Amino acid sequence: MVTENKIYYNNQLLSFDDVKLSLNDRAFKFGDGVFETIRINKSNIIWWDNHSDRLKHGLESLKIDYDLKKLYSKSKELIKLNKVQEGFIRISISRGDKSVGYLPLDECEASILIQTMPLRDVKFEAKNLWISSYRKIPDICLPSNAKTIANGLNSSLAKIQAVENNCFEALMLSVENNIAECSSGNIFWVKNNILYTPKNNLIKGIARAKIIELCELDIIEDDFKIECLEDADEVFISNISWLGLPIKSIEPLNYKYDKYLLCNIIRQKLLQNIEENHG
């Protein structure tokens, strides 16, 4: 539960309502920045190294210069100040606010926002997926494996469309018609005791990495067409919030599933890993 609402903005500790973002901030003007949402459990930051590595990769992909050194201690400090036991840390880094049009100026300095957020209440029950008409933005347009702010609009449009079609989440394909990922997580499926998950044009989720590390099954990461899901034994989706959520149907194709065993096991393994990751 979040009881206080302090944030860090460019190394200043402020109340949430006292932050003044620049109107020229390039995240606000052009989606020009990256972010991470990181799980907090019993006031500990979970899987920090994975998030930090992806943040670093995103900053490098966008050529944003920012030293990540003090991020961990500042995040820890904020969790303590806000008395967060369960929830999330959101870190967003914008290229800064000095530009002429799309071109950042040499004196443009990255700005950073660290905030805590409450845990989202998602029931562990079987969900339905909507195959979105919005495709994942290809890697040759925006770096796919970076959580860019701009990429958020693509995910948002897919999510809105899924909910309009009475589904929980959107399943997104690549422009090459391969299965990519969900609007806010990755997808896995099991067939004959082999675990499958897409490899390209997706954000490689931290929960995804942990599932691959912990699942104890043979895994095939590759490009797959949507038809591969038709006769899967079990399908589930993952992110650091859901961990694993079983899928009962994929619409509008009306693919149906009724086995949730592996998803349950995976979820327990991730919960256990979270408990062990208190450092």
Where do contacts with its own copies occur on this chain (CB under 8 A)? Answer: 7, 16-17, 19-21, 23, 25-32, 35, 62-63, 92, 95, 100-104, 113, 115, 120, 133-138, 140-142, 148-157, 159-160, 163, 175, 183-184
Least Å from the CB of residue 27 to its own copies: 5
For residues 103 and 48, what is the distance between their CA atoms, to the nearest angstrom? 32
For residues 154 and 156, what is the distance between their CA atoms, to the nearest angstrom? 5
The CB-side HSE value for 116 (13 A sphere, CA atoms) comes to 29
SS3 state of residue 50: helix
Least Å from the CB of residue 21 to its own copies: 4
Least Å from the CB of residue 261 to its own copies: 27
Nearer to its own copies among residue 23 and residue 192 (C-beta): 23
Nearer to its own copies among residue 3 and residue 140 (C-beta): 140
Nearer to its own copies among residue 163 and residue 226 (C-beta): 163
For residues 68 and 54, what is the distance between their CA atoms, to the nearest angstrom? 11
For residue 248, what are its two tokens?
């009962």
For residues 109 and 169, what is the distance between their CA atoms, to the nearest angstrom? 36
Least Å from the CB of residue 145 to its own copies: 15
Least Å from the CB of residue 139 to its own copies: 10
Nearer to its own copies among residue 30 and residue 72 (C-beta): 30
| Cα 188 to the center of its chain, rounded Å | 15
For residues 46 and 122, what is the distance between their CA atoms, to the nearest angstrom? 19
Nearer to its own copies among residue 32 and residue 234 (C-beta): 32
